[in-house]
Amino acid sequence: MLNENLPEIKEIKTELHFPTAMASSASGDSTLVLKPPIEELRTTYYKAMKKFVARPTKFGGFANSHVFSAMCDANARNLLVSEAGSVDLDAVMETTLQEPTDWEINFKTIRTKRKESEKIPDSVKVDCIHLSFVPFKRSLDELIQRFTDALLLSLRKSTLNHIRIVEDFVDASMESLNKRPHSIDEISAAQLEWKDIDARKTDVQTQYQKAEKKKALLLAVLGGGSSAGMSGASLDTSEVETRLSQLPTRWENFEIALEAFNDMIEEQRESLKGEIETHVVECNVEIDKLREQWRAKRPVEVSSWEDEVLAKVYTAMTEWRQRMDELKTRCLTLTSNCAAFAMNEPGV
């Protein structure tokens, strides 16, 4: 019996005595008496029982934070798995979720876990105690919903990022493809840009395809509602749908410009050939003018050796040299351009 094993009750003792002669003569009663009396025994007994019964009210319980650290230290050898209690969910998703299948797996897991949580009873009876799971189920539903919302936001953000990459590529490429080169150097630079654009096109197409798949998954999850295990999930997808709907036309225009680039370059080459021929004629005219001027104005004989006269001669010769160098540079440039365009070398 519990009351027989409490130390405080074990120590309760009493003795049986005969009444004293004075008490016996006064009352005329010779009944045996207890020392201490039964009233005092009852008081001591109930005091000990009350103290024992009140012990749970003095437990620290979950209010004492030191209990948990002591529990961890005492059970360290039995701790097999430790989960982070607070993490940046958005950052984790951004680093771990990349492919459309990554989101599909997580959405399927959510549906499975939600069905499992629905099977948890509202309460169970353990011996004579009714244990309610209602607060636990409510918190579990909130956590699942938070995770679902975070997944949807992450999926929309990733889809918009793919769309932005495609848009930036198309805009930059169209700007390069629509520029008309006006020299052989610009044509060479334009051809290098074209090769770079053509090499990157496949990777950007992959981004485009991922955006399409992720948009389809996003709309499927949101459109499925409770049937998809995503009850309560809602998200604005208008930006994704609008921007993605504009990409097919923009991509088609980009493909047309990419294919027409070589034709444009060839047209520009023919146009530049005509300009080069015109420049060759102009250069020949300048050479003829310079030759005639030289013959007419060149110094034949120095009439005076004074410093002022010699300075004028040297100044004139310097000017003639500069004009000759300029014409020589133009001739070399024209010769190089003619060779680049497979034209006959100019007779300058």
End position of a domain, from candidates 28, 43, 58: 58
Which range marks the domain in which residue 334 is found? 272-340
Under-50 pLDDT residues of the chain: 23-26, 225-229
Calpha distance 155→161 (Å, rounded): 10
Residue written as token pair 């009714």: 130
Q: What angle do CA 233, 236, 242 make, to 5 degrees?
A: 140
Q: So what's the pLDDT on residue 124? A: 77
Token pair of 316 as six digits = 């004139």
End position of a domain, from candidates 30, 58, 86: 58
Q: So what's the pLDDT on residue 205? A: 94
Q: Which helix (H) or strand (E) holds 17?
A: strand 15-17
Residue 25 lies in a domain: yes
Residue 261 lies in a domain: no
Calpha distance 7→193 (Å, rounded): 95
Residue 44 exposed, middle or buried by CB count within 10 Å (0-12, 13-18, 19+):
middle
Q: Which helix (H) or strand (E) holds 131?
A: strand 129-132
Calpha distance 286→331 (Å, rounded): 11
Residue 50 lies in a domain: yes
Residue 332 lies in a domain: yes
Domain count, the chain: 2
Residue 132 lies in a domain: no
Q: So what's the pLDDT on residue 264? A: 82
Residue 123 lies in a domain: no
Residue written as token pair 């848009």: 167
Q: So what's the pLDDT on residue 199? A: 92
Token pair of 343 as six digits = 């034209």
Q: So what's the pLDDT on residue 17? A: 58
End position of a domain, from candidates 58, 82, 101: 58
Q: So what's the pLDDT on residue 227? A: 44
Q: So what's the pLDDT on residue 263? A: 82
Calpha distance 210→100 (Å, rounded): 7
DSSP 90-154: HHHHHHH--SHHHHHHHHHHHHHHHHHHHTS-SEEEETTEEEE-HHHHHHHHHHHHHHHHHHHHH
Residue 122 lies in a domain: no
Residue 17 lies in a domain: yes
